Amino acid sequence: MTQPVLTARGLVKRYGRVTALDNADFDLMPGEILAVIGDNGAGKSTLIKALCGAVTPDEGEIRLDGQVMQFSNPMEARNAGIETVYQNLALSPALSISDNMFLGREIRKPGPLGQWFRMLDRNAMEKRAREKLTELGLMTIQNIGQAVETLSGGQRQGVAVARAAAFGSKVVIMDEPTAALGVKESRRVLELILDVKRRGLPIVLISHNMPHVFEVADRIHVHRLGRRLCVINPKDYTMSDAVAFMTGAKEPPREAVAA
Amino acid sequence: MSQPQEFEKVLSGSATNVAHFEEKRSFLHRLQHFLHSNPAMVPLIVLVALIVFFGLARGERFFSAYTLTLIMQQVAVVGILAAAQTLVVLTAGIDLSIGVIMVFAFVIMGNAVVSYGLWAIIALALGFIVAGACGLLNGFLVARVKLPPFIVTLGTWNIIMAIVLIYSANETMREADLTAATPWLHIFGMSFKLGGAVVTLGVVAMIALYFVLWYMLNYTAFGRHIYAVGDDPDAAQLAGIQTSKVLIATYTLAGLIAGLAAWVSIGRNGSISPSTVVTDFNLQAITAAVIGGISLFGGRGSILGTLFGALIVGVMSMGLNMMNADPQWKVLLTGVLIIAAVSVDQWIRKVSG
């Protein structure tokens, strides 16, 4: 049996008297798209934040490739190879596309210029940014130096996904990537997600959009009341089943709970 | 290619060009885009227009190397403070204490030489350390205690002003006493001639500082992080920037630059007067930055714009003076320019789409 890439066991996170995570478990297998669904307040964002380092859980352990991880900020998770595309994209609107892609991990010029004058290697960064965007078929974006705020919503999403794909070596987490997009742009982003999967990177997809989830996910993690309720295969269940599990209208099947 | 869902079937017939840019644009639209990517252009155009205007109105008397370099000498101190202010404003902050930090620094420098008889180098170092420490305090309160920058620096402005007056007993140090002790404090008052131009080392320091900061902001990671933090702090944090470290470093650097302004100011004024603590240097610095197109909402503007902004105020002041206008006209026009600059900034921001 293949080992999961990313696992979590018994995660607990309390905010004052509210328990956002109540012994939550999580498993991500290599090369898969795992969708995480749950009603509002089920704790899925807290689960994701724990996995990407934005929140430190009170109890429980997270393992990446079998190694126990303790993330105290998103930077540490990133350094470990977990990239996240946040719902608000975490892009700086006034900075250029290439500045944004390399924000926080800029490339410096080789030699004394870089070492003593800390000079950035603009050309190298722009070249790599262009390569990444071309790989993902996003080069309809003409000018890599243009500010992100001059891009459309779908293009911004594309830049954020390209950034994650460029640097994510183990896992890419996407939080509601299609929430703010129109039909056509959503389609483009779903293709991007499948493109990233084809590169062999496993993806955690958080979404409220059931058609999108059922279309691209290999497995669906249903989160309810702060813990994992079950994991289902989208081929075996319908969307209304999934929603029913989410809301508690229907008991999950026994074998799915064990998974 | 993933399987389209039922309702998406018609999409294949629609335009596939996601990132299509409309080529035909009105002149105004293109101007907006141009200014968006070159934020220092507006103040530069205003500056050149003003110089041309006063040059035509007053001819040789105004449009001479001597007058133009005299303007530079007059704006050097405020120009340096405005550079410090620009860094803070780019992080979406504001530093009301920058002027009194400068006064604090030169009072310390002077006292160390005259009253304590310390070496000039130690006196200068003390001045810089105190100025840097004041900036560090601002940065700590903004970044770690998470207080609004306006409130923090409003507080430190008053605190430092009071400390300066208590510490110095409001006694002016005469130039003769200072120069008797050391020539080093007045080094930036020294000048050399280039044709008709008289350039003080203070002016050279200002221009060198702008060049260094321009390089830092555009070609180093730290500079890019200052923009990112001011633009959207949450996004910057999530992108992996340690925003509080950037903020603390920025406020500290602003304090150190105020220390440089203190040194230059001693060279320009000769004597050291603690009563200048009531001068509105902080507001003059903010004025230069705003006229220079630095957005008070953070993350936008070029530091070269601030230099042009400081020069605009200097040129207006000198030009109106030469035309024997009431000095209040300068104040009035500065106010008009501030409002105009902010309006232009708002317009440029609407560029997206």
- What CATH class has A6-90+153-258? alpha beta
Amino acid at site B209: L
Residue B5 to chain A, least CA–CA distance (Å): 8
- Which residues of chain B lie closer than 8 angstroms to A120, CB-CB? 219-221, 224
CB atoms < 10 A from the CB of A188, how many? 23
CB pairs under 8 A between A and B: 119
Minimum-distance CB partner of A99 among B5, B7, B224: B224
Q: Do A140 and B5 touch (CB under 8 A)?
A: no
Minimum-distance CB partner of B351 among A91, A105, A150: A150
Q: Collect contacts of A234-242 with beta carbons under 8 A, ≥24 apart.
A: A234/A35, A239/A210, A239/A211, A239/A214, A242/A37, A242/A210, A242/A213, A242/A214
Residue to test with chain B: of A92, A101, A139, A187, most B Cβ within 10 A:
A92
Q: Please report which residue ranges of chain B form alpha helices under DSSP H.
A: 27-37, 41-58, 65-90, 98-114, 120-143, 149-168, 175-181, 201-219, 221-231, 233-238, 243-269, 281-291, 303-322, 328-349
pLDDT of residue B36: 80
Residue B44 contacts residue B173 (beta carbons within 8 Å): no
Q: Collect contacts of B151-158 with beta carbons under 8 A, ≥24 apart.
A: B153/B94, B153/B95, B153/B96, B153/B97, B153/B98, B154/B96, B156/B96, B156/B97, B157/B96, B157/B97, B157/B99, B157/B100, B157/B282
Residue to test with chain A: of B7, B8, B9, B18, most A Cβ within 10 A:
B18
Q: In which residue are the tokens 């133009």 written?
A: B68
- Which residues of chain B lie closer than 8 angstroms to A151, CB-CB? 19, 352
Minimum-distance CB partner of B234 among A88, A211, A216: A88
Residue to test with chain A: of B35, B238, B302, most A Cβ within 10 A:
B238
> Would you write out chain B's pLDDT as a tens digit for each of its 353 residues?
455 566 665 555 554 444 444 455 678 888 887 888 788 888 999 999 999 999 998 888 888 889 999 999 999 999 999 999 999 999 999 999 999 999 999 999 999 999 999 999 999 999 999 999 999 999 999 999 999 999 999 999 999 999 999 999 888 999 988 888 889 999 999 999 888 888 999 999 999 999 999 999 999 999 999 999 999 998 898 888 889 999 999 999 999 999 999 999 999 999 999 999 888 999 999 999 999 999 999 898 999 999 999 999 999 999 999 988 888 998 999 999 999 988 988 888 776 54
- Would residue B168 count as lying in a domain? yes
Q: Do B221 and A108 touch (CB under 8 A)?
A: yes
Q: Which CATH number goes with the domain that contains B266?
A: 1.10.3470
- Would residue B232 count as lying in a domain? yes
Tally of domains in chain B: 1
**Which residues form the domain of B162?**
66-344
In sequence order, what are the beta bridge partners of A205? A35, A174
ipTM, two decimals, is: 0.83
Mean pLDDT by 10 residues, chain A (259 residues): 86 89 91 91 87 89 90 86 87 89 86 83 87 76 80 84 85 87 83 88 91 92 90 90 88 68
- Would residue B291 count as lying in a domain? yes
- Would residue B10 count as lying in a domain? no
- Would residue B15 count as lying in a domain? no
DSSP annotation string for B47-73:
HHHHHHHHHHHHGGGTSSHHHHHHHHH
Q: Do A188 and B18 touch (CB under 8 A)?
A: yes
- Which residues of chain A lie closer than 8 angstroms to B1, CB-CB? 191
- Which residues of chain A lie closer than 8 angstroms to B9, CB-CB? none
- Which residues of chain B lie closer than 8 angstroms to A190, CB-CB? 2
Nearest-Å Rg of the Cα atoms of chain A is: 19
- Domain locations along chain A: 6-90+153-258, 95-146
Residue to test with chain B: of A82, A83, A95, A191, most B Cβ within 10 A:
A95
Residue A161 to chain B, least CA–CA distance (Å): 13
pLDDT of residue B19: 44
pLDDT of residue B9: 59
Q: Please report which residue ranges of B59-119 form alpha helices under DSSP H.
A: 65-90, 98-114
- Which residues of chain B lie closer than 8 angstroms to A88, CB-CB? 234-235, 238
At A30, which helix (H) or strand (E)? none
pLDDT of residue B11: 55
Residue B87 to chain A, least CA–CA distance (Å): 16
pLDDT of residue A184: 80
Q: Do A147 and B240 touch (CB under 8 A)?
A: no
